[in-house]
Structure 1
Amino acid sequence: MEGDADIARTAALFADPARVRVLLALADGRALAASVLAAEARLSAPGVSAHLAKLRSAGLVVAEKSGRHRFYRLAGPDTAELLETLARCSPSQPVTSLREGTRAEALRTARTCYDHLAGRLGVAVTSALLARGALAGPDDTRRRPGDRISAPLGEHPYTLGPAAAGVFGALGVDVEGVAAGRRPLLKFCLDWSEQRHHLAGALGAAVATRFLDAGWVTRRSQAHRALRLTPDGAQALEAHLGLAA
């Protein structure tokens, strides 16, 4: 017989800033090498190994082997959602250096939210999809009364619009193919930095994957969620969505 969930044990894992940096580096769903995570968390190799062992023991992180190398990723979307929940309940860290300010601004400009686009770029793309009839719903994507900060919308008012196939097709995303999968097609998150909704779900993930594969956005670093819009990306967004960089 088992007792109540040991919340305190799990919560204690988030009390170490370095361990949280490891988890945040994995928050976009990718698998990263321990050396990359050590650099991101500013830890030695033995230090990051000790933290990863605790996270694996708690079921928050899993390891995958590729040849002689081992890579680590979040155990699943529940872990990512737990990070988002804690972020919503936490105050912002003070910016004490130019490097920290640059990093914070980069995250607000464009980033991944697990596996979809977020930040100013994410909400701008979502607004443009609404304006072009690829999505149908409210007149804007701003926060509504009662929306929790950065919360996924359980019941959202958005649907595919009459121009969905054409607009998403021009971007290189096959809506019917994406819809054939088991994952929910349409979900929306309330962007924590912009207080507006951005596209998530299977369709949001497909858009983000297309942007990365086409070179329209690139990752600013291997372990950082921030994205950089490339000149080709700016040209494509203007041509297909009417977005000026």
Structure 2
Amino acid sequence: MASVMLSEEEGALESRMALTAAAMADKSRSRMLCALMDGRAWTATELSAVADVSASTASAHLARLCEQRFVVALAQGRHRYFRLAGPEIAELLERLMGVAWATSTPRKITTPPGLRHARTCYDHLAGEVAVRLFDTLVSRQWLTPDGATLTSLGQEKLAQMGIVLATGSSRRKITCGCLDWSERRYHPGGELGASLLRWLIDQRWVRTELSSRRVTFTPLGIRKLASEFGVKTTR
């Protein structure tokens, strides 16, 4: 009896996995999900333009993504906005991008230089600069090489800089190494990655661009990244 119940549970899980994968299998839905990786909420009209589909088709796609809990709908007055359901979905998409890049033929990087240099990965920093920042945190022994643990020294140094991690009751990991799909190396993920990006924005070291994942660094940010973290950037 126990083996029968286990088999049924495994079958249910396999069915759910198939449905989840199918939700991402459509190119238009994939385009929508990639657009939502900028961390903002988009209207159905905006997402239909990104996916190059009609409004009715976009609505059907969004309903499917909401049903599979990739996306949530937010009502504000007469308008509805859509955003990723949470950081765990963003982390899944980032890893899928890495897998897609690694298995492409031929293997060449086609990411626009600006996005490869620095971009948002939902609510944290990604790209070349983020990878260098991760390496600095590891070399200073603030972070373990796999990115899974923030050391006591790291907690102390970040607190001194005014970078406070929101631990609370969230199920989100305090820190994790998020595999950067364009660099094939880790950048800071989890609550640490989100807190770092918020801090960089508050310090006016970086600017995010509307309707784009691209991040640019201010003259102050360029100087401070070099002096505080040993990370060099020119843009």
5+ residue gaps in structure 1?
A: 139-152
Identical-residue share of aligned pairs (%)? 40
Give the number of equivalent residue pairs.
Answer: 219
Residues 1-245 of structure 1: matches in 2 within 5 Å? 4=12, 5-90=15-100, 91-92=103-104, 104-133=112-141, 135-138=142-145, 156=148, 158-160=149-151, 162=153, 164-167=155-158, 169-170=160-161, 172-174=162-164, 178-180=166-168, 182=170, 183-222=172-211, 224-245=212-233
**C-alpha distance in structure 2 between counterparts of 1:73 and 1:93, whole Å:** 31
> After superposition, what is the alpha-carbon deviation per residue over 1:206-245, rounded to whole angstroms, capped at 9, x for unaligned?
01112233332223341x3232222232122123223232
Report the counterpart of residue 4 of structure 2 in structure 1. none
> After superposition, what is the alpha-carbon deviation per residue over 1:23-65, rounded to whole angstroms, capped at 9, x for unaligned?
1112344322223323332334333223212222333221011
Checking the alignment, whether the CA contact within 8 Å between 1:109 and 1:119 is kept in structure 2 is yes
CA displacement at 1:200 relative to structure 2: 1.4
CA displacement at 1:166 relative to structure 2: 3.7
Q: Which has the higher helix share?
A: 2
> After superposition, what is the alpha-carbon deviation per residue over 1:61-112, rounded to whole angstroms, capped at 9, x for unaligned?
21011122211012234433442453344244889xxxx95x5322221122
Checking the alignment, whether the CA contact within 8 Å between 2:90 and 2:121 is kept in structure 1 is no
Which segment is superposed worse, 13-22 or 82-91? 82-91
Report the counterpart of residue 146 of structure 1 in structure 2. none
Amino acid at match of 1:49: S
Report the counterpart of residue 147 of structure 1 in structure 2. none
Checking the alignment, whether the CA contact within 8 Å between 2:91 and 2:178 is kept in structure 1 is no
5+ residue gaps in structure 2?
A: 1-7
